[in-house]
Amino acid sequence: MRESPCFARCRPDMPPAWIFLVAMTDKELMRRAIALARRGSCGAHPNPIVGAVLAKKGRIIAEAWHACFGGPHAEAAALRKAGGRARGADLYVTLEPCSTHGKTPPCTEAIKAAGAARVFIGASDPNPCHSCRGGEILRAAGIQVKTGLLRRECEALNPAFAKYMRTRLPYVTLKTAQSLDGRIADAAGRSRWISSPQSRRFAHKLRAEADAVIAGVGTVLADDPLLNVRGFKVPRQPWVVILDSRLRIPPKARVFKNDRVIVAVVGKAPAAAVKRLPAHAEVLELPKDRDGRPSLPALLKALGSIGISHILVEGGGKVAGSFISQGLVDRYCCIIAPMVIGGTDSKSSVVWPDRLNAARKTLGVQAEVKDIRRLGPDLMLEVIFK
Ligand code: AOF
Ligand code: ZN
């Protein structure tokens, strides 16, 4: 599959004309930087999304965001746009500027060279290479630095980056698209088009924001999905990971049209079965959990070790159930379509063995609602588990 060029924009990047005319407060300028940061959500990961605004007397003179992994950092891009006008300007940046050479030169050096007068920082960098050093370096150069402006909002931009920096484990987003009665298919397996075009677009945005998309082999056998990003420009399609204990995946499955595919199996995979798979498919041999399925903690560790910082779990019900019941979901986006499937043998969006419920003192796993959104006729509930 061909890779799209590195124009990782989800929205057009022309700012409205008024933005350069109105004098804004410090918080308003940081809010603008936060809005800009979000434009990088399809392309920057596994690096953080970051927005930057340069202003003089509260009026914006340049703005930018980190659009693409490996590309220019937000503050460096804003400084470049401003050129000589950056001298004496105020910089508002959602994440502490970096201070070492990575894929790009340190932003602290660019800020010093440009002659910015003041730097307003939102969140400190969870990356231990930079954490808190950026502010100190700038202060030592005589630049006024204010940290923690809209800190919580700025920190909330990068939950996956923060978790990955802390633990080297990927952040887990679970997505289900289900009926009002929590079903994803009827007893005959009919599942297509439960959710609306708007919901499907949302689901592709979630894929675009992840480094890997995960599904069980049951979903592959039932629907033969592609599991790639469509409708959003991404610098690189996410990895596709199929949980397939006994290597049942058909070699002609459409997921193999993706460049980067991992089939996660239990124990040693038979050489003959591996040979039948397309050459680019990677087989990941994992220990088994108590239900004989690939161990999910081991899977997360393996994916983290190859730089995957954010995974999107797309089902089916048993996969969703395993992630939730093992306490491995960081965020659950539940899309609910206004329909009832009913029946007795219809498939539920979340399935786990009844013995797990029997072993619980209280009913169910409690969650807290973080966001509710309309997606055309559907509803999206974003929750985190307590
Ligand atoms: C970004 N974008 O706008 C800022 C970042 O390898 P590099 O040079 O891209 O550096 C990545 C690190 O730089 C990243 O882990 C983070 O700590 C810091 N700041 N990163 O990708 C940005 N400001
Ligand atoms: Zn930087």
Residues with CB under 6 A from ligand 1: 44, 47-48, 50, 66, 73-74, 95, 97-98, 102-104, 107, 125, 127, 130
* Closest CA to ligand 1's atom 18: 98
- 7 has a pLDDT exceeding 60: no
Dihedral sign, Cα of residue 45, residue 64, residue 39, residue 93:
positive
Rounded to an integer, the average pLDDT of 47-66 is 97
Q: What percent of the chain has pLDDT over 90?
A: 90
Q: How far apart are the first and last CA of the chain?
A: 40
pLDDT tens column, 282-303: 999 999 998 889 999 999 999 9
pLDDT tens column, 163-173: 999 999 999 99
CA of 269 to the centre of ligand 1 (A): 38
pLDDT tens column, 176-189: 999 999 999 999 99
CA of 148 to the centre of ligand 2 (A): 18
pLDDT tens column, 58-111: 999 999 999 999 999 999 999 999 999 999 999 999 999 999 999 999 999 999
- 116 has a pLDDT exceeding 70: yes
pLDDT at position 291:
86
Top mutation candidate among 95, 98, 165 for ligand 1, by most atoms within 8 Å of CB:
98
- 8 has a pLDDT exceeding 50: no
Q: b/e string for 306-316 if b means 16 or more Cβ within 10 A?
A: eebbbbbbbbb
Instruction: Give the active site residue among 3, 63, 75, 382.
Output: 75
CA of 99 to the centre of ligand 2 (A): 7
Q: Which residues surround ligand 2, an ion (CB under 5 A)?
A: 73, 98, 107
Q: What is the DSSP letter of 378?
A: E
* Closest CA to ligand 1's atom 10: 102
Lowest-confidence region among 3-17, 33-47, 213-227: 3-17
Taking the CA of residue 89 as centre, how many other CA atoms within 13 Å lie in the half-sphere pointing to its CB? 27
Domains in the chain and their CATH numbers?
A: 7-158 (3.40.140.10), 168-385 (3.40.430.10)
Assign residue 229 a region (left: φ > 0; alpha: ψ between -120 and 50; beta: otherwise). Answer: beta
pLDDT tens column, 335-352: 999 999 999 999 999 999
pLDDT at position 13:
62
Q: Which atom of ligand 1 is nearest to the CA of 161?
A: 15
Lowest-confidence region among 6-15, 44-53, 59-68: 6-15
Rounded to an integer, the average pLDDT of 5-13 is 45
The answer to whether 75 is a known catalytic residue is yes
pLDDT at position 226:
97
Kindly indicate the confidence band of residue 9, based on its pLDDT and cuts at 50, 70 and 90: very low
Average pLDDT of the chain to the nearest whole number: 94
pLDDT at position 268:
94
Q: What is the DSSP letter of 38?
A: H
Judged by its nearest atom, the ligand closest to the C-alpha of residue 95 is 1
- 4 has a pLDDT exceeding 80: no
**Residue ranges in the chain assigned as alpha helix (H):** 26-38, 74-82, 107-114, 133-140, 151-155, 159-167, 197-209, 217-223, 271-276, 296-305, 317-325, 354-358
For every residue of 240-306, DSSP letters joined together read: EEEE-TT----TT-GGGGSSSEEEEEESSPPHHHHHHS-TT-EEEEE-B-TTSSBPHHHHHHHHHHT
**Residue ranges in 39-132 assigned as alpha helix (H):** 74-82, 107-114
